[in-house]
Amino acid sequence: MEKIEEIVHIVPLGHEIDRAVKPFERYKANKVVLLAVTETFGKYSQEMIKKQKYYLEIVMNKLKERGIEVEHRNIDMFDMLEVIKSIANLIAEEKGRGNRVYVNISGAGRLTSAAATLAAMAHGVKAYYVSAEGYSENKEDKMKHGLSICRKAPRVELLETFQLQLPKEEGIKVLVKLCREGKGMKTTEILEHLASEKVEGFEKCAPWRKVPRKERFNYLMKLNKRILEKLDVSGYITRERRGRYNLIKVTKAGAYVAHISGQLK
């Protein structure tokens, strides 16, 4: 039997209630995934975490009351790369299940909003912004509504997004591997990785020491022309000569691409 498409909303959550809940007075959702920081990660105060848990619990309960399945994932909401990675991975997971995905970019701070928008654009899903009627001016309002107040079903604006042009799959595999390693890699190590990933044209590159000498030059040229030159021109890697080898390192821009790919677990 063909699986029925479900509607999944990803909501990065700060100190908001209405902006995370009120849209569902008008719009349908089968599941909502809430992203919120609920541990200190060794750098945040217990008081801050306690306050965030309050908003998370309120939002979860209100969504469950509407019959919506709710899932929470604990992430460091103040680390932009971590937010991008988490949202991108979630989108990839849900699209892989055949579900339709939306991303609410108005439930947390500006940094998180930017990260959420980038992840949505990279994976071709809709991001939306929930407009508020006003803002809480006292503690009572903050505890009831969050930082923003939406007393009735709010206006929800779908962002006009365009799909970000990511490198080809083989290039992403290289960037993801470089990020995982956290250091420069020799071209021969990259060739062996591509072989382990069964990338077409590189299947016989591992182990490198067993590759016939007359074939090595062709593999190195193919790697450079087909993958590394494109990543270099785009500013995603640097190449540094070390003796007989080139040492390949990922740049900050390349790290963003790896995190936004949905493949960096």
- For residues 141 and 37, the answer to whether their CB atoms sit within 8 Å is no
pLDDT of residue 243: 80
Query: Are 180 and 80 found together in one domain?
Result: no
Query: Are 149 and 21 found together in one domain?
Result: yes
Judge whether 132 lies within some domain. yes
pLDDT of residue 165: 85
Query: Are 25 and 149 found together in one domain?
Result: yes
Q: What is the mean pLDDT of the chain?
A: 94
- pTM for the predicted model, two decimal places: 0.88
State mean pLDDT over 49-66. 98
Collect all residues with Cβ–Cβ distance below 8 Å to 48 and sequence separation of at least 6: none
pLDDT of residue 93: 96
pLDDT surpassing 70 at residue 59: yes
pLDDT surpassing 70 at residue 1: no
Query: Are 178 and 93 found together in one domain?
Result: no
Query: Are 124 and 254 found together in one domain?
Result: no
Judge whether 144 lies within some domain. yes
- By CB atoms closer than 10 A (0-12, 13-18, 19+), residue 22 is buried
* Chosen domain end from 158, 186, 208: 158
Q: Which of 2-6, 58-62, 206-210, 252-256 has the lowest mean pLDDT?
A: 2-6
Judge whether 2 lies within some domain. no
Collect all residues with Cβ–Cβ distance below 8 Å to 27 and sequence separation of at least 6: 156
pLDDT of residue 245: 80
- For residues 131 and 18, the answer to whether their CB atoms sit within 8 Å is no
pLDDT of residue 2: 65
CATH number at residue 233: 1.10.10.10
Give per-residue pLDDT as tens, 171-207: 999 999 999 999 999 999 999 999 999 999 999 999 9
The b/e string for 87-105 (b: 16+ C-beta within 10 A; e otherwise) is bbbbbbebbeeebebbbbb
Query: Are 219 and 255 found together in one domain?
Result: yes
- By CB atoms closer than 10 A (0-12, 13-18, 19+), residue 152 is exposed
- For residues 10 and 46, the answer to whether their CB atoms sit within 8 Å is no
Query: Are 118 and 24 found together in one domain?
Result: yes
Query: Are 125 and 42 found together in one domain?
Result: yes
Give per-residue pLDDT as tens, 214-250: 999 999 999 999 999 999 999 999 999 888 788 999 9
The residue range of the domain holding 131 is 7-158
* Chosen domain end from 114, 134, 158: 158
pLDDT of residue 16: 97
| CA torsion, ordered 161, 167, 170, 175, to nearest 10 deg | -100
Q: 236: closest CA among 219, 264, 258, 261? A: 258
pLDDT surpassing 70 at residue 97: yes
Give per-residue pLDDT as tens, 154-172: 899 999 877 788 999 999 9
CATH number at residue 82: 3.40.50.10770
Neighbour count for residue 34 (Cβ, 10 Å): 23
> Using CA atoms, how far apart are residues 177 and 189, in angstroms rounded to an integer?
10
Query: Are 181 and 153 found together in one domain?
Result: no
- For residues 80 and 44, the answer to whether their CB atoms sit within 8 Å is no
pLDDT range class, residue 68, cuts 50, 70, 90: very high
Taking CA atoms, 119 is separated from 116, 137, 236, in Å, by 5, 32, 17
> Using CA atoms, how far apart are residues 235 and 233, in angstroms rounded to an integer?
5
Q: How many CA atoms lie within 13 A of 198 on its CB side?
A: 0
What are residue 185's DSSP bridge partners? 248
**Strand order across the 245-250 sheet:** 185-186, 245-250, 237-242
Q: What is the DSSP string of 216-228?
A: HHHHHHHHIIIII
Query: Are 67 and 148 found together in one domain?
Result: yes
Query: Are 246 and 124 found together in one domain?
Result: no
* Chosen domain end from 133, 158, 183: 158
Q: Could you say which DSSP state residue 52 is in?
A: H
Judge whether 265 lies within some domain. no
Judge whether 65 lies within some domain. yes
pLDDT of residue 160: 82
Judge whether 41 lies within some domain. yes
Judge whether 27 lies within some domain. yes
State mean pLDDT over 34-42. 96
Query: Are 83 and 209 found together in one domain?
Result: no
How many structural domains compose the chain? 2
Judge whether 163 lies within some domain. no
Give per-residue pLDDT as tens, 101-156: 999 999 999 999 999 999 999 999 999 999 999 999 999 999 999 999 998 888 99
